[in-house]
Amino acid sequence: MLKEFLSIHDLTLYQFNQILDLSQKIKEKPKEFKNKLQDKILAMIFQKPSLRTRMTFEVGMLQMGGEAVYLAPADIKLGTRETPYDVAKNLERWVDAIMVRTFSHQTAIDLSRHARIPVINALTDLLHPCQGMADFLTLKEKMGDLRKVKLAYVGDGNNVAHSLIFAAAKSGAQISVATPQGYEPQSQIIQHAQEEEKGNSSFHLHITHDPWEAVHEADAVYTDVWASMGQEEEKEQRAQIFSPYQVNSQLMAHAKPDALFMHCLPVHRGEEATAEVVDSTQSVVFDQAENRLHVQKIIMLLLLVD
Ligand code: CP
Ligand code: NVA
């Protein structure tokens, strides 16, 4: 049984595969899981905006007979009005689990350390593990054996890139990451992923500054926004630095002919990816969004039901 869900890196291989397998099952037969979370309540702390995360956690809870309570950024002012410790100590008296979207990853760790109930990371500046699980479910559905997948990530070495690296490490996929200089994935993430490389021969991580090299022969090309939530002031500067990393038809043509296009959304058409690519038949962005629902239902089940 899972105690918390903060990072894909923390999962055992068994837990990683279990989440993917059960997610496929719940997607096929959602009714079989109806009422599995009856009388359970999830507190959802949001310090940043959201469409997909809020909807999929709330809808997931409702579909399984539970409830979710939304706490907007201005409601609790986590860290300023009240410490993560005090928030954890209050919430554990009323609800069964906490979902948190915040800035510092340490805040999510602190909440989890102090709460007697499970905590789910719904995005920090460091990681976006629910997204990574939904994306690898999507890849598994489309490609089959994850050990044969070559994923290219082009853009900012951010929270989404970090979680994709961890998911690739667990599943034994190959991942090539192309970023501008100074925007590479964090070295601690690379180190942690490489620890898994030793145990899993098919996993391979390649870091480059050349987007063409990264997408060469790729089965899927993934990108994310150039300025993440909290980096709004850097938006213009980043737009210039990242412009050679736009995923457009020319770049897609260097991947395999039927390569998938992936994005966690929200997307800015004309910036990190062209509309032509986002809206092409190769694009699976809405499958990824749908899969957020299925994987998070399973994560909640594994956290809340013995
Ligand atoms: N992909 C994702 O997490 O979307 P939201 O920011 O809308 O939740
Ligand atoms: N990297 C983006 C992901 C949004 C889902 C951000 O953190 O804003």
Q: Which of 53, 105, 124, 160 to mutate to test the pocket of ligand 2 (most atoms within 8 A of CB)?
A: 160
Enzyme catalytic residues: 101, 128, 131, 224, 264, 292
pTM (2 d.p.): 0.98
Alpha helix segments (H runs only) across 102-229: 105-114, 129-143, 159-171, 187-199, 211-215
Among protein residues, the one whose CA lies closest to atom 4 of ligand 1 = 52
Sheet holding 67-71: strands in order across?
67-71, 41-46, 97-101, 119-121
The per-residue pLDDT for range 3-45, each reduced to its tens digit, is 999 999 999 999 999 999 999 999 999 999 999 999 999 999 9
Atom of ligand 2 nearest to the CA of 48: 8
> 168 near 198, Cβ under 8 Å?
no
* Nearest ligand (C-alpha, residue 159): 2
- What b/e string do you get for 21-42 counting C-beta neighbours within 10 Å, with b at 16 or more? ebbbebbeeeeebeebbeebbb
The per-residue pLDDT for range 118-159, each reduced to its tens digit, is 999 999 999 999 999 999 999 999 999 999 999 999 999 999
CB-ligand 1 contact for 131 (6 Å cutoff): yes
Residue 32 CA to ligand 1 centre (angstroms): 27
Rounded CA separation 127/161 (Å): 8
In this prediction, residue 306 carries a pLDDT of: 78
The per-residue pLDDT for range 90-102, each reduced to its tens digit, is 999 999 999 999 9
In this prediction, residue 200 carries a pLDDT of: 60
Domains of the chain with bracketed CATH: 8-128+292-304 (3.40.50.1370), 131-288 (3.40.50.1370)
Residue 201 CA to ligand 2 centre (angstroms): 30
Q: Which of 44, 53, 285 to mutate to test the pocket of ligand 1 (most atoms within 8 A of CB)?
A: 53
The per-residue pLDDT for range 165-221, each reduced to its tens digit, is 999 999 999 999 999 999 999 999 999 999 887 766 699 999 999 999 999 999 999
Rounded CA separation 71/74 (Å): 8
CB-ligand 2 contact for 224 (6 Å cutoff): yes
Q: Which of 48, 51, 100, 123 to mutate to test the pocket of ligand 2 (most atoms within 8 A of CB)?
A: 123
The per-residue pLDDT for range 247-289, each reduced to its tens digit, is 999 999 999 999 999 999 999 999 999 999 999 999 999 999 9
The per-residue pLDDT for range 211-242, each reduced to its tens digit, is 999 999 999 999 999 999 999 999 999 999 99
DSSP state of 148: G
CB-ligand 1 contact for 101 (6 Å cutoff): no
Categorise residue 301: left if φ over 0, alpha if ψ from -120 to 50, beta otherwise.
alpha
Per-residue pLDDT, averaged over 96-117, amounts to 98
In this prediction, residue 115 carries a pLDDT of: 98
In this prediction, residue 197 carries a pLDDT of: 76
Residue 82, token pair as written in the block: 């009240």
In this prediction, residue 239 carries a pLDDT of: 98
Among protein residues, the one whose CA lies closest to atom 5 of ligand 1 = 50
Per-residue pLDDT, averaged over 282-304, amounts to 98
